[in-house]
Every structure is written in C-alpha cells, then in structure tokens.
Structure 1
Amino acid sequence: MRKSLLVAALAVGFASTAQAEVKLYGTINFGAAYEQTKTTLYQDISNMYRDKEGKNALRAGTVKERSTGIKGSNITSSRWGLKGSEDLGNGTSAIFRVEAGFNPTTGKSTQGGALFGRYAILGLTGEKWGTLTIGRQYSVADDLVAFADVGWWYGSADSTIVGAISTRQSPTIKYLSPDLDGFKFGVAVLSGDEKTTEETPDGNEKITRNKRNGAAIGLNYNNGPLELGAAFEYNREHKGKSDKTNHAEDYNRRIKGWSVAGAYDFDVVKLHLAYGQQHDGVLGTGDYMGILDYFLDSYYVQKENKSLVKFKTRLNSRGLRTKGWFTGITAPVGEMGEVTFTYQGGRVKHSDFDTLRINSQIYELAYQHKLSKRTYIAFVGAYGETKFKGKVLNGNKHGQFAKVKYKDFRVGLVHRF
C-alpha cells in the first residue's frame, strides 16, 4: 500500500514538472573587426556648435579614426536569458521571459546596468486566442514588420529607419493574435508615470515628473513566398522640473512613427523591402538615431539663452522628420551558406533648422556559413556615407559643412545555446 502511494506521489510530481518548463538560452559572439571613420569639415560654424566649455568645436579639416582588434558582439549582440511556460489547461499557458545583454570581453551589462534590459515579460498564451504580455519588450513593429531587416551591423535597417521598425519599451502591454488564415495583428499600450520630490536646504521643493504613454497597432500577412507587414506607433513623452518660483520644461514630445515591409522568396534569391518615417521625435530610447549617433554625439548647440545640449538631443523634438528605406537580398550558397546584400538610405530634417539636411546611404555585403545547427561564422563588410548640410539658428552662415564616410569589415564566430 505504501509503495503504491509513493508511486502515485512521484507520478503526480513528474506530471507537475512536465507542465512547468524553464529553458536557459543565449547567444555569444567573438571576432575581429576593422573600422574606419573619416569626417571632413568644409566650413567653420563656430556660432552654431560649441563644446562643453563653450569653445569653438568645428573647424575646417579632416579627422580620420581607425579601430582594429578582437571584439565581442561584433556580429550580433551577445545575450542570455530564461524563458518558461506552465500549462494552465484548456489550451492556455502562462509564460515568462527575461533576457540580459552583455559584453563578452568584459562581462558587463550592455543595457546601462539593467539586469534584464532586453526582455522582462509575463503573460498568457493560447493557440486559439493569441498572446498577451506585459513588461519590457519589443514593439509591435518588431513582431510584424522587422522580418524584412536582414542586415547585420551597419547594414541593419535600424541604422536609418531607427525606432520605426523595432524598439524596446517598458512598461508595455501587448497583444498578438494567432494566425488567421495567413493574417496576424497586434496592439500595444505603453504607460509610465514617475514623480520625484526633493526638499532643498532653503525649504523649497523641487519636483521632477516623467511621463511616457502611447499606443501601437500592426498587421502582417504571410502566405507562401509572400510576406507583408505594416505598423503605426504613437508615443507621448514629457519631462519637466518645477519648484515654487520657477518651472522649466525639459521636453514635451508627441512622436509618430510608421513602417511598411515586404518580402518575396523566388527560391534562388529572396527580396526584402522596408520603409519607415518618424515625426516630431525618435521612438524608443529617446536619443538613438542610428548611424547618426557617432557624428551627432560629438557636437553641441545652444539656442538663445538656454543650456548647452547635444545637437542630437536638440533634434529629438517637435519638427523632426526622418525617412528611411531598406532593400535586402539573400541567397543560399550550398546547404550551409548564405550570402546577403543590403542597401539603405535615410533623410533627416527639422523645421527649427531652416536648411538642415542629413542624407545617409549604407551598403553591406555578408556571408554566413553554418558549422552546425547552433554555431556559424560570418564575414561582413560595409560602406556608408553621411552628408550634413545646415544653417545657424540665428545667423547667416549656412551651406554644406560635413561629410562622414564609414568603412567596416568584421569576421565573427557565433554560438547559440
């Protein structure tokens, strides 16, 4: 009798374990890279740009930077995570996923110190009704449009299309439908509100308010060799500081972004196309502008009597318009290889800068060779060019003043576990 009870208890225990599954997964990448950036300045625009000390930051001339060496995450982002599910019955399961990015050369986080900066979600899923998740996660566009992005490093579509095609946000509630005869749709709601009150020695109070909310919707159609997708996202971002005698608004953005994509498999080659726009700001992290980060991070602008800020931050406001387009071709090479060629272009302008025009174009050629189901080696080469043309806010100096050229070659070994 006791033996029968013991066997029954063990059977129940194993059944419970079978219903709750947790999996450790990840990707790690090491390799070598050669990068060269050449910036040519055509005009002294010292009235527009200044460094942190207020001194002139730009002068006519050429600056060339090279970097060569062994690097981690030089082909794809290294990350590790845990994901799991529990069967709740009636075709429904509880799911969770947490994922952290790391630099394999140092072991440090690549998400600004956040433990699970890539993913942190909890939700429910069912084959018949879809998936509902809440937490830090990718946008609807990433689920329904980003399939067209077959680029690797500089050639990735977010270099010019940026947040319109894929971005992470939190806290987000997202619903993705099941497959409906080839169609899928998704909706998401972003909501966040923070308030910090600080009492100063003189008895005054300083209040900082951060608000982020928004919504997104997307649609995807996948039937045989053809796949199509579209998404639209709206974000409201507000940050302000106030006290009893003064109020200073840091920013107040109403950002709109949309993207469309398509892919068609001709068997011999597969064609990928994508296009996206952003208005009145940049979706996602708030200051990521793709390939322009390298250039714009170095320069500062001062408007009227306001504080000195990075020019990139100044652009991320009402009046910003970005456009990006992407073309990619993939073709199999034998059973274990694949070659990829991509081209993309982008344009940026801002209504506060009358003649501002930033035009970028990037070409990339890559070859991936599988060594096993989980391990592959990749060779990636890219060339890009950005032309910057602008005008001083309250002055009469204008004209083309900068050109940036990028050259990049990298080889890397990638293992998925």
Structure 2
Amino acid sequence: MKPSYLIVLLGISSGAFAQSTVTPYGIADLGVHYSNGINASNAPVVSGSTGSVSSGVNNTSRWGFKGQESLAPDMTVLFQLEGGLNIDTGASAKSDKLFDRLAFVGIKTGYGSLTAGRQATILSDAISTVDPLGMRYASLNPNINVTALSNTAFGTHAFGVQYGTSGYNDNYYRLDNMLKYTGDFGPLVARASYSFGEVAGNSSALSTMGVGLAYQQDGLNISGAWMKFKNSADFDLQAYTLGAAYQLGSVQLKVNFGQNRADTSTTKQTRQHIASGGAALALTADLTLTSAYYRVRREATGFADDGFDRSFIYLEKSLSKRSTAYIETDYTNWKANAAGVSGNKANSSNGYGLTIGLMHKF
C-alpha cells in the first residue's frame, strides 16, 4: 500500500472515532448557619453560640472539568480535574492543591475503566450509594469523616500521621498516585485500587491497596469495600465498610457499618466503629425530607474509650433542575472525653446546628 493511501485511511479512521467532549461543571452551595456548642469549623467549644456563612453544608462546593474522546467503538479516553471551593471566602478548599478533589486520566473499554492520578478511594465509592445522609455535609458527616477517613481527628486523640499518599495527617479520603479499576458486570460493580507510596528504597511505605464490590437491582443496593494503608514507618491502617439501600415506594432506606484499625506504633492501636441508618421521604415531586443517625465509638491504647452520636434532618425544595433550597439541623452528643478541651476547660458535651441554604449546580 502506498504511503499516501495509508495516510488517507488513518485520517478517515480518526475522523470516524475521535469524537472529543470537554465539560465544565460545579456546585455552589452556601448557607446561613447558627450553632451552639460547636464553632463554624465544626469543632466543639466550651460554650456559646456562633453565627456564620458556611459553604458546602448540603454538597461540597466545587468546580472542575471532565472530558472524553472516543478512539474506537468500544474504547474511550477520559479525564477529570476537580477542586474544592469555599464559596463564603472565594478560596480554594486546599491551599496547596488546585485540584485537590480529583486529577486523573484513564481509559474505558467494555471490560471496565482504568484511571490513574489523584482519586477518591474505593471506601468512598462504596459508601456513596448507601450513606444515610446521601454524602451531604462532608465536614460533619461521620461516614465521610470516620468510615471513609477524611477526618479521623476528634477529641483528645488522633492518628496524627499520614497513611497512604493523601498528603495530609488524619485525612486519607483521596490519594495521589492511584491506579483504580472499575468494572460493570450487569448488576455487579467490581472495584480495585493500588496507590504507589513512592518512598525511595521502600515500596511498601505509604502504599495502599483495596477491593470493593456492589450489587444493584430492583431497588436494592448492597455495597462494600476493604482497604489497607501504610504509613512511612510501614504501620498498617485497615478499613472496612458494608451498607445497603432499598427503595420502598416514596421512601429510600439506608444503613451502613464501618470499622477501621490503625497501628499507631509497635505497641499501640486505635479502633473505630461506625453504625448508621436513615431514610429519605419524597413528600412531593419537589420536596424531600431526609433523616440520618450515626453512632461512632473509638478505642485507643492509652486513652479512655470515647465517641459520639450525631443526627441530622434535611428538608430540601427543588426550585429547578439545578437549584435547591434547604433547611438543615444537626445534633451531636459527645461520649466520654471525645469533645476534648479548650485550654484547661472541657468542651461542651452537646452541640447543635441549624442552616438555611441554597445550592446551585452548573
């Protein structure tokens, strides 16, 4: 075949399959928030109330780009870049990362997708469909914070070191250098991931691995995952989650159970147990009432057992396809010394909040 004919054929082929799209998107969520016993950063205080304008009380405010290009009838290249925002100040959620939430590229075929970069863990993937609160209020939601490990520090004790490649102490919800596989097989979704620690001379340090499996059919969703994280000293953090959701007419019921165990030294360990349940009721076509309850308990070597109970109620009114007005209330009861101290005074053992907000998706 002459070279000119080959060039023409390649041109026809690329024109037939290379269809590319790039989509900007985001969420702007802002509310007027009142709290007592908990400050604007959701930390316990000795006493007193706080008024604030808070970002992300319903869904985390964010912005990003996602796109894909078809290379063949059954092969697509995809990418996504996403950063968190604090709408109340206009600042990025993380000052050290422009795209702190997602930054990956990958390929998708009939056998599933394989992506590489900074990504949410498969713990968060597993929880997303069965969390009783529907992944609302990320900074206060115990399944996001404790089950999926986005904020393991509360009270007088914290893990205090980095496990995996998140880049932060006590926050391992998203990891750098991650390879993630997701495969859809009818009602089953299989997930597997591995994150390279990239520590010279020690391939195990800061690495992570995990597997997950979900089943969804006829209104029933069952979802679970397991992950193992390493810190720089090669100590383990292992985490598990298993939950279910069921659609019963206008009501969706959800339950989830989580547990994690961190070796914080050769002789010390921290265990956390999380149980949650809730329901979402469609009152009308555009009005939804959601309630959720979380029970968190912690056992740590050298510390008294502690934890907290937390409940939420959301009333949401859809104003349009993209805009939602909402009212949120939450109540926290800290157990033992989980509330911690401010100076030399113990913080309040109870706290509650109330938010009136507006969320717009674009």
Class of the TM-score when normalised by the shorter of the 2 chains: 0.7 to 0.9
* Contact 2:204-2:230 within 8 A present in 1 as well: no
Q: 1:162 to 1:182 in 2, by over 3 A?
A: closer
Show the 5 A alignment for 1:12-411: 19-37=19-37, 63-126=46-109, 128-151=110-133, 152-153=136-137, 154-155=140-141, 157-163=143-149, 167-178=173-184, 180-194=185-199, 211-238=205-232, 252-280=234-262, 318-353=268-303, 356-389=304-337, 404-411=349-356
SS at 1:193's partner residue? coil
Q: 1:262 to 1:362 in 2, by over 3 A?
A: same
Aligned residue pairs total 316
1:109-154 Cα offsets, whole Å, 9 max, x none, are: 112320111000000012x211100000011122233211142323
User: Hey, which bits of structure 1, 4+ residues long, moved more than 3 A?
Assistant: 14-18
Identity percentage over the alignment?
21
CA distance in 2, matches of 1:65, 1:16: 65
SS at 1:143's partner residue? helix
* Contact 1:161-1:346 within 8 A present in 2 as well: no
Q: Could you list the runs of 5+ residues in structure 2 that have no partner in the other structure? A: 1-7, 40-44, 152-171, 339-345
The Cα of 1:66 is off from its aligned counterpart by 2.1
User: TM-score with structure 1 length normalisation?
Assistant: 0.69
Highest Rg: 1 or 2? 1
CA distance in 1, matches of 2:86, 2:284: 33
CA distance in 1, matches of 2:67, 2:347: 50
Amino acid at match of 2:216: N
CA distance in 1, matches of 2:62, 2:150: 23
* Contact 1:174-1:186 within 8 A present in 2 as well: yes
1:184-215 Cα offsets, whole Å, 9 max, x none, are: 111000112246xxxxxxxxxxxxx9941021
Amino acid at match of 1:163: L
Amino acid at match of 2:300: H
Q: 1:38 to 1:191 in 2, by over 3 A?
A: closer
CA distance in 1, matches of 2:141, 2:312: 5
The Cα of 1:16 is off from its aligned counterpart by 7.5
Q: Could you list the runs of 5+ residues in structure 1 that have no partner in the other structure? A: 1-7, 40-61, 196-208, 239-250, 282-313, 391-400
